[in-house]
Chains A and B, each alone.
Chain A
């Protein structure tokens, strides 16, 4: 097979590695799914590439990775040292004076850098940027040598108020680099020149913690690709949904924390846009969690920070993805108060649901779906298992749900699905209704292996317009790698009052920041149609501590952005009104932080390449019927081969659409229709 000019998206997940090859010349695509090799992901990565063709023939590879995420969650980063201002070595460990849970006072916290690897030096910058005590580079070098002797592999330099003036920090990090044996040295101003010491220290330390891990992983992949004679470009998806060069990823690995999920959201946005849906909520149902993200007017929402685990904060723009502990492996149980609960405890993918027969005997959401006949027990997704054990699943539901509740086993299985649906619906409401979005204007787009089982029910539960099931739900993240734009973000805290704004100074800063970001994107080595520079301000009324994001309607044009105080004021008031009901006239406004993003727009990806073939027919897609339990009884339900359905096909529920990587359930009262791109649109029957 010819793959010249091919661009490959590779999504390495916990269980499977998904690949998507698009041959730009021939407008053809190929997909592959291979087992992930936990611990040495490069093996699965290469296996998958070889399955797609001759690796040296590919022009570009874009990778969504969970190596960084896993290193953070499993605490398997490098041994790191911290060099900081006298009096502040405990910032990382003291956090923001919180505790793990509202109720209950147990639990402790282990920072990523132990206390004896956090060294202090004399230096001090004040909040206004003035230097009260200069730093002595020799003292910094001595501290670095001590850290080396104690076995540190990477170093984070973090000084108080470095956001206001980075001179001391800059001198210090240069001193460390002069004596440090590798490149794994980072200063807080290079990562996040933004006010709030804990958030900056945490993000910087986690970057250092990941640098050796992500660096060695990417190095290994690069070597493997070199070994195959690959000469094309190799890029990584960032948490913000944009793509960066591997050189940038090695420098800023903390930006890969949500790499894989972000790629999925990017693909979802593109698929929705092509299908004519401006407003969608994505729902990725995995083994242990349900991840939702909102796309309004074709754009995904970026969050300023995320908490990976208690006390582990990363502050860098990332696609806002909310996670709840409800997945296929979530365990159903009746609590001491007699209430049915699903999750957050999960059987994961190993041992997995009862029906996998791998040793778990407590019922999961997947078991309920199997018992109700919604999942085909004879043809499990992924192809690892021969068949699923329906009877074992049923016995588990009878013992752990039906008996304690005093209801019949099928009713119990249906209740498990209903509770799970309610929890997923709650997650969708949190990102939509709570933010002031009307659910009737949104469609849910399920992806991953399990989401499409529940999409129809969510339409009813939340009052959404419809569900849009992409043609290949299981490879959405890999597809996202292929179509994601390039992106680079920068921040700078300014703390300027709007009333006394020097607009020329703001303009100069915006131009400088825009140029810097633009240069990173331009230097990534990938063809783009154009580079857009986007600006946002974090602002508030004087006296508030929270800020709101204020997108500015200006961009970089030559020597100026054309910004003025009036433009800022109008933009702030518009954004404030969207968030809260009333403006507060007479109270002064303040600009806290400038956020700059450069986005390299890739040539549009034509999704018609994925559409069903013209000779597909309804008859060829028919797979007979089987009994499926809906709303308190068995229904003789039509089964369809989803990928064989022609464009325009309409299927009335109850129905089940099957394909190798997903199962779509069309509940009674709903209809499904295949659109021109092969997506399935599920709506209430007219």
Chain B
């Protein structure tokens, strides 16, 4: 029941025109949702994505340029989940739209809701459109869903398998009623669902217009050509790398339940124009929420590769020459009901490990580790008028040093393009006051190209009865690594004030339900990025400038760069030369 995949050859000019127009359709879908969404995780942080997918395989055909990078990799699995359901249960009709959030069947975590819609032409399935967005709350033990102590997905929220939200053009209000009854913020979820439907409606309208203009056969042929082109580019890129096995591993602090480190180990093999990513040596599934499903693991490898090979277009073709080995005996290939709510931390570590292994395959283009933790922080309580509030946000850190530049100060994570809400918006919305919103000195990993700086966010609670604080973070024990002789960045650090002085979480960067009294503060200090190249090779004048600007303290300049610099940034040339000569010898 699928469209005949056309043998029509499309001329290169029409192909280029269609590429732009199709990407624009996906971008317009993104824009529609961003502007009409209710929760800031979509509206500001852009935790959403849209695209066009293959009728039979669900493979990504066209992807927008503004969607959340991690979803770009994950969506094909979501569409496949619906294709499998239809194959099993039948009953696919024009005008249907499926909804689900099942993380083990093409999802990521329970907050991410997928809408998948078939597009028929002359009664035949031509392709799929899909939309995904992060909803604010879908039940579970912790508001917002980031339950650091979950040991089963039932403690993380409600799991919905692929169901028909819209059947032949008619919306099933019963499903909406079920969703509403299972969220702390049903109105917000309803607003976001409407935004996603708006986006699909618009995408369908635009796509039909384009098919009418160019003809179905030409567009189908163009899809094939895009996929072939991405595969060709990826093969050429891989063929240019030296054959070999490149091993790299990194660790997560713990799973939030037991305080044991978790290993993410990768053996990356380049053989001709093919690559194998083998994660077999990674830790087994864990008790807490740091597991991920296989589809999520593949999606984040895709994100890592796109950051390194930026020329390769975003469609399924680029994954064709890659073999994934992700056994279900590891924490990267779990199934229900293993908890996955902390997936953001795990995928950041997987992405870092891919960077690390590739750095050994291509040292001239190596990138040091980015800060590598999402730091999902909730501050919750009651306002003076008794109403309940939850301030929930992700925080920034430094990006890694690289062949061209020092790492970027205070950037976002590679899985997203999210911007942080303004402090003034947070203060206007919640009874909190920021006492620091600053760069964190010495947080960037030393190197010829220094890692970017992380940040210090210090928050005082203003509400009479204080506040409850939750944090799901990482990098409290294992710092972002440097490459090519560069050194690691500073660790993540979180403290809160009590009558007995400052306290920090026993599980490094994960806490649930810590009570903070009015007038007390919490402080989050985020990691920078790792360093690139040997620190002693950084010109002493540049280190002196770092000291003058307060990026590096005089003490760190001496200990980690062998540069003698006074508080005001004056370089002691002779002492530095002597120190550096001593280290070299």
Chain B residue with minimal CB distance to A311?
Answer: B408
Q: Distance in Å from the Cβ of A202 to the closest Cβ of chain B? A: 12
How many residue pairs at the A-B interface have CB separations less than 8 Å?
Answer: 200
Interface string of B543-575 (1 = CB under 8 A from A): 000001111000000000000000001000000
**Distance between Cα atoms of A99 and B428 in the complex (Å):** 26
B420 touches A96 (CB 8 A): yes
Chain B residue with minimal CB distance to A126?
Answer: B433
Check if A93 is an interface residue, CB within 8 A of chain B: yes
Chain A residue with minimal CB distance to B550?
Answer: A115
B19 touches A339 (CB 8 A): yes
Out of A100, A103, A106, which one reaches B367, CB within 8 Å? Answer: A106
Q: Provide the residues of chain A in CB contact with B411, threshold 8 Å.
A: 97-99, 105
B422 touches A196 (CB 8 A): yes
Check if B232 is an interface residue, CB within 8 A of chain A: yes
Check if A83 is an interface residue, CB within 8 A of chain B: no
Check if B306 is an interface residue, CB within 8 A of chain A: yes
Check if B396 is an interface residue, CB within 8 A of chain A: yes
Check if B514 is an interface residue, CB within 8 A of chain A: no
Q: Provide the residues of chain B in CB contact with A546, threshold 8 Å.
A: 34-37, 43
Chain B residue with minimal CB distance to A342?
Answer: B16
Out of A116, A338, A580, which one reaches B550, CB within 8 Å? Answer: A116
Q: Provide the residues of chain A in CB contact with B462, threshold 8 Å.
A: 126
Please indicate which of the listed interface residues B230, B236, B425 has the most CB atoms of chain A within 10 Å of its own CB.
Answer: B425
Q: Provide the residues of chain B in CB contact with A103, threshold 8 Å.
A: 69, 306-307, 310
Given contacts A114-B549, A543-B187, are A97 and B412 in contact (CB under 8 A)? yes
Out of B307, B367, B410, B550, which one reaches A95, CB within 8 Å? Answer: B410
Q: Kindly state the interface size class of chain B when it binds its partner.
A: 35 or more
Residues 38-66 of B contacting A (Cβ, < 8 Å): 38-40, 43-44, 65-66
Check if B404 is an interface residue, CB within 8 A of chain A: yes
Check if A178 is an interface residue, CB within 8 A of chain B: no
Given contacts A195-B428, A543-B187, are A430 and B24 in contact (CB under 8 A)? yes
Q: Which of B265-273, B332-340, B436-444 is the interface stretch?
A: B436-444
**Distance between Cα atoms of A161 and B230 in the complex (Å):** 49
Check if B217 is an interface residue, CB within 8 A of chain A: no
Q: Provide the residues of chain A in CB contact with B425, threshold 8 Å.
A: 195-196, 545
Given contacts A87-B435, A94-B455, A99-B412, are A197 and B422 in contact (CB under 8 A)? yes
Q: Provide the residues of chain B in CB contact with A341, threshold 8 Å.
A: 16
Residues 394-424 of B contacting A (Cβ, < 8 Å): 395-396, 399-400, 402-412, 414, 417-424
B17 touches A419 (CB 8 A): yes
Q: Provide the residues of chain A in CB contact with B69, threshold 8 Å.
A: 102-103
**Distance between Cα atoms of A395 and B502 in the complex (Å):** 72
Chain A residue with minimal CB distance to B317?
Answer: A337
Chain A residue with minimal CB distance to B35?
Answer: A546
Q: Distance in Å from the Cβ of A212 to the closest Cβ of chain B? A: 23
**Distance between Cα atoms of A127 and B428 in the complex (Å):** 5
Q: Provide the residues of chain A in CB contact with B307, threshold 8 Å.
A: 103-105
Q: Provide the residues of chain B in CB contact with A495, threshold 8 Å.
A: 428
Interface string of B510-552 (1 = CB under 8 A from A): 0000000000000000000000000000000000000011110
27 contacts between A and B (CB under 8 A): A87-B435, A90-B439, A96-B422, A97-B396, A97-B412, A98-B412, A103-B310, A104-B310, A105-B408, A106-B404, A108-B409, A115-B549, A115-B551, A124-B433, A132-B433, A337-B229, A337-B232, A337-B313, A338-B229, A339-B19, A405-B12, A430-B24, A543-B188, A544-B43, A580-B35, A581-B198, A584-B191
Residues of B at the A interface (CB closer than 8 Å) are 12-13, 15-17, 19-21, 24, 28, 31-32, 34-40, 43-44, 65-66, 69, 187-188, 191, 194, 198, 201, 206, 229-230, 232-233, 236, 306-307, 310-311, 313, 367, 370, 395-396, 399-400, 402-412, 414, 417-425, 427-428, 433-439, 452, 455, 458, 462, 548-551, 569
Residues of A at the B interface (CB closer than 8 Å) are 87-91, 93-109, 114-116, 124, 126-127, 132, 160-161, 163-164, 195-199, 335-341, 405, 415, 418-419, 422-423, 426, 429-430, 433-434, 495, 541, 543-546, 579-582, 584, 587
